[in-house]
Amino acid sequence: MHSPQPNHDTRASDDWPSELYRILKAADVRQMSYVPDAGHSQLIRMFSADRDVTTNVLTTEEEGIAIAAGAWLGGQRSVLLMQSSGVGNCINMLSLSAIGRFPLLMLVTMRGEWAEFNPWQVPMSRATQPSLEAIGLKVMRAETAEDLVETVESAASLAYESDQQIAVLIGQRLIGKKKW
Amino acid sequence: MSMSNPSQLDRRAAVAALLKDRRNTLVVSGLGSPTYDLHAAGDHDGNFYLWGAMGGAALIGLGLAQAQPSRRVLALTGDGEQLMGLGGIATIGVARPRNLDIVVIDNQHFGETGMQASHTGRGVDLTAIAMACGFVAAAIVRTLEEVQGLAKQIAEPADGPRLFVVKVLAENPPRSLPSRDAVFIKNRFRAHLGFAAA
């Protein structure tokens, strides 16, 4: 393909958080909630600096499931950022999204699956996808920056236009090894 | 710590008094008796009833309050439900919505599961927790007259979130059951605010 933007792939690889921010803004996301993860730090900074988006820092991840449902009741789209260990905290609250068919988009950075230093991250890493699927979410996964950008764009449409509950798992290989 | 509960207040009378002049207030009710209390006070398109998602009522209220800043939002819940969402009080304190109030109908028991004593009858004070988390007002009320005063207070704007505890008699009045179809209640609620069903 003769693309007029030959640097697109390079740019996505270098700066996928900016691409995700652009996609979520284009999807009219107005609320963002998070429990921090190093892999989400740039996206958190970008949303926190955005006066058109209300940002909530959470004490535990399931709070964001409830906030997203409330936002939708009030006519706004919300996105929730967490790492895989937080998925375990969400399971019962996800009943709300599942039974109410509330649009839900969670971006989950994976720990415990690739060059992981902390063994305590491994059990919940293993349980992340099965437990999300058990409670009724659709799980999508990306291992490269290019795939992630496309996956989040698709997931946002499925969530907000088709009332689906989606978790996008961001592979630890993509995020890179944590420096200890 | 004392386990006494001097309040003889009837929870249905309290909730009815609280919502008598609700005007445009949007209400989210927590599992389970507050959901029955809210329905008993009169079904309303601006009500969202929880039949699960324990610990989520006040946080649904937060997302809603942030999306609808010109509306007053009331999270009406119980002591057990709010105790499961204690961290949410910190999140709401930091978010500092100016249009969200939490009212805890506090019978000091887990009424839905056999009236086991809860933490609030054993010295845990939700109003002190709320104030420590940056809420702008918090109080405990025990009489119908005080609830009537509270209804007037929460109709007025605030500079941030407020939490009120209404101490009530520990009893289970006959259940008043709203629809358990969350999709229906969701779409009805959104239509009330002018949003079409997808």
Residue A56 near residue A47, CB atoms below 8 Å: no
Contact of A63 with chain B, judged by CB distance below 8 Å, is answered with yes
The answer, for B30 touching chain A at a CB cutoff of 8 Å, is no
Q: Measure Cα distances from B52 to A76, B27, B139, B184 in Å.
A: 22, 16, 27, 16
**Which carries the bigger pLDDT value, residue A83 or residue B5?**
A83
pLDDT in tens, B83-142: 999 999 999 999 999 999 999 999 999 998 999 999 999 999 999 999 999 999 999 999
Q: Is the peptide bond before B32 cis (omega within 30 degrees of 0)?
A: yes
Give the ipTM.
Answer: 0.97
Q: In the prediction, which pLDDT does A23 show? A: 98
- Distance between CA atoms of residues A103 and A113, nearest Å: 28
In chain B, the domains with their CATH numbers are 11-192 (3.40.50.970)
Task: Check residue A118 and give left, alpha or beta (phi > 0: left; psi -120 to 50: alpha).
Answer: beta
Shortest alpha-carbon distance between residue B143 and chain A (Å): 31
pLDDT, averaged across chain B: 95
Residue among A54, A92, A99 minimizing CB distance to B66: A54
Q: Is A102 at the interface with chain B, CB within 8 A?
A: yes
pLDDT of res. A176: 78
Query: pLDDT value at position A26?
Result: 98
Contact B101, B163 (CB under 8 A): yes
List chain B residues with CB under 8 Å of A93.
Answer: 53, 55-56
Over residues B13-26, mean pLDDT: 97
* Listed residue (A172, A162, A119) closest to A141, CA to CA: A172
pLDDT of chain A, 180 residues: tens digit per residue: 444 444 444 555 669 999 999 999 999 999 999 999 999 999 999 999 999 999 999 999 999 999 999 999 999 999 999 999 999 999 999 999 999 999 999 999 999 999 899 999 999 999 999 999 999 999 999 999 999 999 999 999 999 999 999 999 999 999 876 666
B8 touches chain A (CB under 8 A): no
Residues in a beta bridge with A106:
A80, A167
Contact (Cβ atoms closer than 8 angstroms) between residue A131 and residue A124: no
Nearest chain B CA: its distance from A175 CA (Å): 27
User: pLDDT digits over B143-174, tens only?
Assistant: 999 999 999 999 999 999 999 999 999 999 99
CB contact under 8 Å between B60 and A57, yes or no, is no
The answer to whether B122 contacts chain A (CB < 8 Å) is no
Phi/psi region, residue A140 (left: phi>0; alpha: psi -120 to 50; beta: rest), is beta
Of A30, A59, A68, the CB nearest to B87: A59
Which value, to the nearest 10 degrees, does the dihedral of the CA atoms of residues B92, B94, B98, B103 take? Answer: 30
The answer to whether the Cβ–Cβ distance between B64 and A74 falls below 8 Å is yes
- pLDDT value for B196: 84
Q: Using the beta-carbon criterion (under 8 Å), do B91 and A56 form an inter-chain contact?
A: yes
- Give the position of tokens 């792939």: A9
Cβ of B67 within 8 Å of Cβ of A70? The answer is yes
Per-residue pLDDT at B1: 45
The whole-number pLDDT of residue B197 equals 74
Quote the minimal CA–CA distance from B84 to chain A in Å. Answer: 11
A56–B94 C-beta distance less than 8 A: yes
Tens of pLDDT along B34-85? Answer: 999 999 999 999 999 999 999 999 999 999 999 999 999 999 999 999 999 9
* DSSP bridge partners of B76: B29, B103
B105-117: pLDDT as tens digits: 999 999 989 999 9
Cβ-based contacts of B48 with chain A (< 8 Å) = 73
Distance, CA of B187 to CA of B173 (rounded, Å) = 29
DSSP symbols for B132-159:
HTT-SEEEEE-SHHHHHHHHHHHHS--S
**DSSP secondary-structure letter at A38?**
G
Using a cut of 0.90, tell me whether the model's pTM lies above it: yes
Residue A48 Cα to chain centre, angstroms? 16
B66 contact A CB<8A: yes
Mutate: best of A30, A58, A62, A63, partner B, most B CBs <10 A? A63
Give the pLDDT confidence score for residue A142 in this predicted structure. 97
* pLDDT given for residue B168 in this prediction: 98
CB contact under 8 A, B56 and A74: no
Q: Does A67 touch chain B (CB under 8 A)?
A: yes
Q: Can you give the pLDDT at residue B22? A: 95
Reduce the secondary structure of A43-64 to three states and give it as a string: HHHHHHCCCCCEEEECCCCHHH
Using CA coordinates, name the residue in chain B closest to A95. Answer: B53
Which of B45, B51, B64 is most worth mutating to test chain A (most A CB atoms within 10 A of its CB)?
B64
